[in-house]
Amino acid sequence: MDNFINPRRVRPYKGARPDDGPVLYWMHRDFRARNNWGLIRARQEALRLRVPVAVVFCLVPEFLGATFRQYDFLLRGLEETADLLEIAGIPLILRCGAPEIEMRRLCEEHKPSLVVTDFDPLRIKRQWLRVLTESAACVVEEVDSRNIVPAWLASEHREFMARTFRPKIHRHLGEFLEPFPELAPHPFTWIVPPAGLDFLSLRARLKVDTDVPPVVWLQPGENGALATLETFFTHRLADYGQRNDPNKNVCSDLSPYLHFGMISAQAIVLELRQRGLEGEAVDDFVEELVVRRELSDNFCLHTPDYDQVSGFSPWARSTLAAHQGDPRPYLYSDEAFDRGQTHDPLWNGAQNQLVRTGKMPGYLRMYWAKKILEWTENPARALRVAIHLNDRYALDGRETNGYAGIAWSIGGVHDRGWAERPIFGTIRYMNQAGARRKFDVNRYVRTWTPGQPSLFPVPDHP
């Protein structure tokens, strides 16, 4: 059991297998030392070959519009992970630049027996992997540590909706929802630890937008993730059924951690079971954490244009095209959206909460994106604006959940057709009357109206 990993979690790419070089684990999605199948696999192979193992992180100074807020969260968390790795005798090599090129250089320097890396369906990550597998002399393995059921096994095609995907996930849980081995100290250490940068010089190389500051209400890293999980289990999970009310603080706040892989969704489900937590609220939470979350990876894996209108289903594209010429009651510039300066106080409040805290409640995310569709000239611009704002301000941006959530809101992905109406066609519509039926909109607007003094930092929660 000590180092067991189900081989079906691993996808090998061919290469020669010299067996005297070290093992490198290139971490670019699952930034954690605990409960990480990629790291477990790398260490398992290093043990078998009796060689050292190292983790590699390569900082990309500019990445898909990420700002200082997200980089700071990632780097502070990673410093903590470096300490945990050190206890296990595993160095963290820090590099900066184009990761596929830095990885090639590292492979030339260290002649590894094996490179293990994280699975990620985003286009840029598929491209990194392609370059690495073409250039590396050794075997490269991809491990899915983000999903409980490896995305390539869960389904071979893009799923129509959660209803079609759910049974596939549940069918595989018996095999994949297994406990993690502890990360024991690795016995084969480096004679000379590999050279790299330190965190300070890494930060100095960032070329990012510093107008979006870090958040202070959430502590980055693996320990912050565990503390957030504990608070959620103890104080909020029982009321999770009320999650559509953004005035109530019942959601987990785990998405920034899950996005950066600072906590494992599988470990969360195992912890729920270990504590004997069950009931409707728990089932609802697991549905979001497992089925919906893994469905997003399925969407991006099987839809290379996941951030384009061409990634919508034919029925959605055709209904949106049929309503392309409909008059729009309001049209806003990118700047007006960014500053939360629309005619709608609820939308402005939601945007303001996102800007200030890096988070927007799930229900409002849907409303927010649908209104962007209503107030832009066409769905392509709506998609661009929503992705840009989400990725600029949200701590959990650039995530498959984000691309799927925005495509759901604007392009009916994973949804069905509804009653036809202007602009939206048969894409599901949302309005303020619906929001008022669910929660006290005035109270939310009072809390989050832009321009109010010192809402940030927020004492207990956004």
Ligand X SMILES: Cc1cc2nc3c(=O)[nH]c(=O)nc-3n(C[C@H](O)[C@H](O)[C@H](O)COP(=O)(O)OP(=O)(O)OC[C@H]3O[C@@H](n4cnc5c(N)ncnc54)[C@H](O)[C@@H]3O)c2cc1C
Check residue 261 for interaction with ligand X (CB under 6 A): no
In whole angstroms, what is the distance from residue 74 CA to residue 83 CA?
15
Min dist CB 196 to ligand X, Å, is 30
Nearest by Cα to 27 from 72, 91, 73? 91
Q: Indicate the length of the chain as a whole number.
A: 462
Report the C-alpha gap between 53 and 141 in whole angstroms. Answer: 14
- The 64-103 contact track toward ligand X, x by CB under 6 A, reads ----------------------------------------
Q: Residue from 158, 243, 356, 371 that binds ligand X (CB under 6 A)?
A: 243
Q: In the structure encoding, which two tokens stand for residue 149, read together?
A: 């059921």
What's the start-to-end Cα distance of the chain, in Å?
Answer: 42
DSSP-assigned letters across all residues of 81-126? HHHHHHHTT--EEEEES-HHHHHHHHHHHH--SEEEEE---SHHHH
Least distance in angstroms from the C-beta of 300 to ligand X: 11
Residue 54 as a binder of ligand X (CB under 6 A): the answer is no
Among positions 263-322, residues that touch ligand X (CB under 6 A) are: 288-289, 292-293, 296
- Selected from 40, 114, 406, 441, the binder of ligand X by CB under 6 A is 406
Nearest Cα to Cα of residue 9 among 154, 124, 138 = 154
Q: What are phi and psi of 145, to 5 degrees?
A: -105, -5
Q: Which of 131/162 has CB closer to ligand X?
A: 162
Three-state helix/strand/coil letters over 164-219: HHHHHHHHHHHHHCCCCCCCCCCCCCCCCCCCCCCHHHHHHCCCCCCCCCCCCCCC
State the nearest-atom distance from the C-beta of 232 to ligand X, in Å.
7
Quote the least distance from Cβ 101 to ligand X, whole Å: 28
Does residue 43 interact with ligand X by CB under 6 A? no
**345-357 and 362-374 helices cross at what angle (nearest 10)?**
120
Give the one residue of 397, 411, 412, 462 binding ligand X; rule: CB under 6 A: 397
As a whole number of angstroms, the distance between CA 300 and CA 194 comes to: 35
- Residue 376 makes contact with ligand X by CB under 6 A: no
Does 415 sit near ligand X (CB under 6 A)? no
Using the contact rule CB under 6 A, the part of the chain among 168-176, 207-215, 350-358, 399-407 near ligand X is 399-407
Q: Which of 120, 297, 396, 415 binds ligand X (CB under 6 A)?
A: 396
Concatenating the DSSP letter of every residue in 301-318 gives: HH-TTTTSGGGS-HHHHH
Does the footprint of ligand X cover residue 389 (CB under 6 A)?
Answer: no
Site string for ligand X, 137-176 (x = CB under 6 A): ----------------------------------------
Does the protein bind ligand X through residue 369 (CB under 6 A)? yes
- Answer left, alpha or beta for residue 166, where phi above 0 means left and psi between -120 and 50 means alpha: alpha
Q: What is the contact surface with ligand X in residues (CB under 6 A)?
A: 243, 251-255, 258-259, 288-289, 292-293, 296, 362, 365-366, 369, 390, 394, 396-397, 399, 401-402, 405-406, 408-409
